[in-house]
Chains A and B, each alone.
Chain A
Amino acid sequence: MSIATSKIRLSPKVRLRFDRRTGYDMLLYPETGLELNKTAMEIARLCTGEWTIDEIARHLALIYVGVPPEEIKRQVHDFLDALAGHGLLQDLP
């Protein structure tokens, strides 16, 4: 899939599970998972199939006032690209 243009949705094999020990979500998939930090959790929660990468970055820019938008976009891209690399994003029509 092209994460540059598609609307982004987590693959059905992924489950976000709130972790009461860290206060953030864990991203679980077969036999393993990722501990998300606050930013990663905010990005992952926006991967609902409604938003493109640019829209997700714009949304985060509203929260992280003062961080350059290019830097936010780069971080969103790197995180989503890593998820795509593990097959954790779904292709949408």
Chain B
Amino acid sequence: MNHEHRPYTLIAELTYRCPLRCPYCSNPLDYAEQADEIDTATWLRVFHEAEELGVVQLNLTGGEPLLREDLELLVEGASKIELYTNLITSGIPLTFERLARLRALGLNSVQVSIQSTRPSVSDRIAGSPSFNRKLEAMRWVTSLELPLTMNVVLHRDNISEIEDIIALAERVSADRLELANAQYLGWALKNRAALLPTRDQIERARTAAADARARLRGTMEVLFVTPDYYAAYPKSCMEGWGRRFIVVNPEGLALPCHLAHTIPGLCFDKVTQRGLADIWHHSMGFNRFRGDGWLPDPCRTCDRRATDFGGCRCQAFHVTGDAGATDPACSLAPDHDYIESVRTQTSLTAEMPILFEYRTDRGSSPR
């Protein structure tokens, strides 16, 4: 096996259904049209095939994975093959009893996302009254002695709460705090004008996060990801295309990242039609941006090409129309002036009232 391309993590998007309607949702824009979810047996087979490929981490996510009635069976199956299983959830709909059951079946950690520390704001962003239930879910996680990650997607409307967010994470005894700036793809790209913080906001948040990281060292890990639009270089998207991650979406499409299939001209396969190992090693989609043969200028000769792999292919496509271009978030990219103009626009419109376009609630009712 080529170690350079060994997946460590399977991201299992169990469903696109979700009781929340966050305007930065990373699910595809047309999710509501996608009704068919792969079944329990198929998921269990995918877990096995992933483990054989080298996967050791399993992220059960969505949408809201708790809406899958077979979640217990999936956790149990993953545990049998020693995958480290993480539940990535909004905390809704959950009961203490169900969480205790999942833990007993082998669940290893839980990530709960909140939208804001202010209940009314959190509920407005989520598009549903949910804040207090999330707090309760986080308390259940720690009372069951499961490791807790608190995740907050930062954007213009909540980034100024950074100190309160850190304080809340301490209060709920989180093991990790993920301060994840919204990635401007999917729904977040559609709502970018309302979401992208100003440079000042980002700098203040980054400083607060660094202070907390130093103060809480050994107790709580504080992760802060600078949004691409304010970074000098692009992020190492998925740690390289088809290199460390496999995403399998609710209908069974195996992908190098959760939005790869929104790039036209790439061909991806369903796990119901082709084995995962075959897809990983041989499919056109997974191989398209592997290695450095495909790299454009200036990446081709750049010292950072083994660090950031040319950045995010989806962002390159959505901004430049060419998925094979250098990620425009890179200050060396030919199309970087687009990112700069968005930043300028953001600083000018920072005081304007914020309007979101919500995900609709179609398709989100429990079956």
Contact = CB atoms under 8 A, between A and B. Distances in A.
B57 A31 contact: yes
A32 B220 CA distance: 15
B176 A30 contact: yes
A19 B26 CA distance: 32
A87 B177 CA distance: 12
Nearest to A91: B218
Interface string B218-246: 11110000000000000000000000000
Given A30-B175, A86-B221, A21 B6 contact: yes
Given A21-B1, A87-B175, A12 B84 contact: no
Contacts of B56: 17, 19, 26, 28, 33
B57 A28 contact: yes
A79 interface: no
A48 to B, nearest CB: 19
A49 to B, nearest CB: 17
Nearest to A32: B57
A87 B148 CA distance: 12
A1 B218 contact: yes
B171 interface: no
A29 B8 CA distance: 13
Nearest to B6: A21
A86 B218 CA distance: 5
B220 A31 contact: no
Q: How large is the interface on A (under 10, 10 to 19, 20 to 34, 35 or more residues)?
A: 10 to 19
Given A21-B6, A26-B56, A31 B149 contact: yes
A25 to B, nearest CB: 11
Q: How large is the interface on B (under 10, 10 to 19, 20 to 34, 35 or more residues)?
A: 20 to 34
Given A13-B109, A15-B84, A19-B56, A30 B217 contact: no
A85 interface: yes
Contact of A30 (B6, B86, B218): B86
Interface in A51-87: 84-87
Interface string A2-15: 00000000001101
Given A21-B3, A28-B57, A31-B57, A15 B108 contact: yes
B54 A13 contact: no
Nearest to B217: A85
A30 B175 CA distance: 9
B59 A87 contact: no
A86 B176 CA distance: 9
A33 B175 contact: no
Interface string B147-170: 101000000000000000000000
Contacts of B221: 86-87
A17 B54 contact: no
Nearest to B8: A33
Contacts of A33: 8, 56-57, 84
B218 A12 contact: no
Contacts of A86: 218, 221
B219 A87 contact: yes
Interface string A23-39: 00010111111000000
A85 B176 CA distance: 12
A31 B59 contact: yes
A84 B3 CA distance: 28
A28 B54 CA distance: 13
B62 to A, nearest CB: 16
Nearest to B84: A28
Given A13-B108, A30-B86, A87-B175, 19 more contacts: A1-B218, A13-B109, A17-B84, A19-B56, A21-B3, A21-B6, A26-B56, A28-B57, A28-B108, A29-B109, A30-B84, A30-B111, A31-B176, A33-B57, A85-B217, A86-B218, A86-B221, A87-B218, A89-B218
Interface of B: 1, 3, 6, 8-9, 54, 56-57, 59, 82, 84, 86, 108-109, 111, 145, 147, 149, 175-176, 217-221
15 contacts: A13-B108, A13-B109, A15-B82, A15-B84, A21-B3, A21-B54, A28-B84, A29-B109, A30-B84, A30-B86, A30-B149, A30-B175, A30-B176, A33-B57, A33-B84
